[in-house]
Amino acid sequence: MKIALAQQNYHIGNFESNTAKIIDGIKKAKSEGADLVVFSELSICGYPPRDFLEFDDFINKCYAAVDEIKVHTDTIGVIVGGPQRNKTPEGKDLFNAAWFLYEREIKQVVHKTLLPTYDVFDEYRYFEPAYDWHVVPFKGKKIALTICEDIWNLTDAPLYRVSPLDKLILQQPDLMINISASPFDYNQEVSRKNIVRENVLKYNLPMLYCNCVGSQTEIVFDGGSVVYDAKGNLVQELKYFEEDFTVVEINENFGKSSTGPAIDPSVKIEDAAATIDHLIDTKAINKIHDALILGIRDYFSKMGFKKAILGSSGGIDSAVVLALACEALGAENVRAILMPSQYSSDHSVSDAEQLSKNLGNPYDIVPIKNIYDAFLTELKPIFKDLPFSVAEENTQSRTRGNLLMSISNKFGYILLNTSNKSELSTGYGTLYGDMAGGLSVLGDTYKVQVYALAKYINREKEIIPDNIITKAPSAELRPGQKDTDSLPEYDVLDKVLYQYIERRQGPKEIIAMGVDEALVKRILKLVNTNEYKRNQFCPIIRVSSKAFGVGRRMPIVGKYLS
């Protein structure tokens, strides 16, 4: 039996585009002689559809798409993902389903059993878990068909009480197929291969795993669909961060030409994740770079936006965002605005200019001194003779934010935010100033990762001027200001933040790692007392296992560690 995997990039709610893409995949599979073609989880409507699922019209369009796709299944089996209505009065109104289509009919519909409700997932908000489990018979083979999370229950402390494959294996299937929408983070590729291989070895069956690719606002799906033989050998691996297609023949020789084990089963993800060092190694940075490019590109293309704007300060964060945006959108579509004040150093302007010359993007220089002075003049009757403080610093930042948004409104640009995760964690940013933007590019990358990204961007030639990378970071809102005036050194700060945010370690555990107790308490307090700022922030491209935004839900008025 020849089985095709179609790894595609869908657009949530764009039924015309998604359906056309699926039909094209069916035609390609037919042309290559496939008996069956597999698409990813909720491929018909795109993942995650969230509250769109509460609209009958949305579900009706999903059903209409199934009917349209069904016409093309005359000689080929097709597995697509989409919601199905629950006819039982009890429970949720929908199932997350895999539709098996063949001979222009709906032959069988399989329901997802394990519905994740953690981090970015909220499936139990919408879907009812499966009531029963049946293999899918097709051309003399029995397929154990599951959906994404259904294969992720093989841990020492399972999150769920039932594993669908434990039920399906009793029916003696010949192979396993999993359709998935598994988001990217810099550990996910290894953990995903681990879990697929563990299922293969447990059930002694080959598995074909089809993941989607593409970015949906803040969530990036990296593809990387895989095929394993029953011995745990990697037979096929599709591309990462782009669409791909393959056909695999399942026969008595299946797996004999495999590449060997994809991973060392003795390696535990938790061991590598215990320190921050793995976040800045070349492989991780390469993947983060590609994820951010895809995140920017898909956000703009799916929203119908053409051009971006950002404030270019001559600092490392704006430099990296500018370089990434130029690569994602084309340099001609990214406009940099340099907004020096009386506190800006000469090299900040020259560094920012050189960066734009290296990239070839348009830029403008708009000094803010006159506007800033006008603000202070009007505020003097209220500020009186109070000493210079953070209020005057933030007025500069908000002046810049106002200018950027004015240009954005005038010409239809989308403002890219340049704040990094270290700053967002600690509240080192100005609401309605440098925290303004339509999309945050670096909001899930720590400062140490931003530096690593800059070096990666410069891996073949100097794009980001070396002075931007080597100079001490500064907001330049007062004479001689450095980030370290307000924050610890970033290598120490990021270590603490990573342990607290990604690994959910408490103060005692972090102090036990050798970090000063007072410093730990100070950093954690900064994180928790600045939740109100992050709650007003724009969407952040997610590249870690715990990003700010929909995947991290903290009370604003909480007292814990504050």
Six-digit token string for 459: 């891996």
CB 27 within 8 A of CB 72: yes
Rg, Å, the chain Cα set = 26
pLDDT at 539: 98
Six-digit token string for 388: 């210079």
Domains and CATH numbers, the chain: 2-268 (3.60.110.10), 305-534 (3.40.50.620)
pLDDT at 253: 67
Q: Does residue 263 surpass a pLDDT of 80? A: no
Q: Is 365 annotated as a binding residue?
A: no
Q: Which residues are registered as beta bridge partners of 522?
A: none
Please identify which residue in the block is written with the tokens 């921050």: 276
Q: What is the pLDDT of residues 80-128, one digit of tens each?
A: 999 999 999 999 999 999 999 999 999 999 999 999 999 999 999 999 9
Q: Is 418 annotated as a binding residue?
A: yes
pLDDT at 155: 86
pLDDT-based confidence at residue 264 (cuts at 50, 70, 90): very low
pLDDT-based confidence at residue 472 (cuts at 50, 70, 90): confident
Burial pattern 325-345, b for ≥16 Cβ within 10 A else e, equals bbbbbebebbbbbbbbbebbe
Q: What is the pLDDT of residues 485-540, one digit of tens each?
A: 778 899 999 999 999 999 999 999 999 999 999 999 999 999 999 999 999 999 99
Q: What is the pLDDT of residues 289-321, one digit of tens each?
A: 999 999 999 999 999 999 999 999 999 999 999
Q: Does residue 167 surpass a pLDDT of 80? A: yes
Mean pLDDT of the chain: 94
Percent of the chain whose pLDDT exceeds 90: 88
Residues classed as catalytic:
41, 112, 148
Q: Is 423 annotated as a binding residue?
A: yes
Rounded to the nearest angstrom, the gap between the alpha carbon of residue 364 and the centroid of all alpha carbons in its chain is 31
DSSP character string of 535-548: TTPPPB---SSS-S
Q: Is 193 annotated as a binding residue?
A: no
Q: Does residue 205 surpass a pLDDT of 90? A: yes
pLDDT at 267: 44
Q: Does residue 272 surpass a pLDDT of 60? A: no
Q: Does residue 266 surpass a pLDDT of 60? A: no
Q: What is the pLDDT of residues 361-411, one digit of tens each?
A: 999 999 999 999 999 999 999 999 999 999 999 999 999 999 999 999 999
Mean pLDDT, rounded, for 194-213: 97
Q: Is 330 annotated as a binding residue?
A: no
Report the phi/psi class of residue 370: left, alpha or beta, with left for phi > 0 and alpha for psi in -120 to 50: alpha
Spatial CA neighbour of 141 closest among 166, 98, 176, 170: 176
User: Cα separation of 489 and 508, whole Å?
Assistant: 21
Output phi, psi for 557, to 5 deg. Answer: -95, 15
Q: Does residue 215 surpass a pLDDT of 60? A: yes
pLDDT at 347: 85
pLDDT at 147: 98
- 154 or 253, higher pLDDT: 154
pTM of the model: 0.95
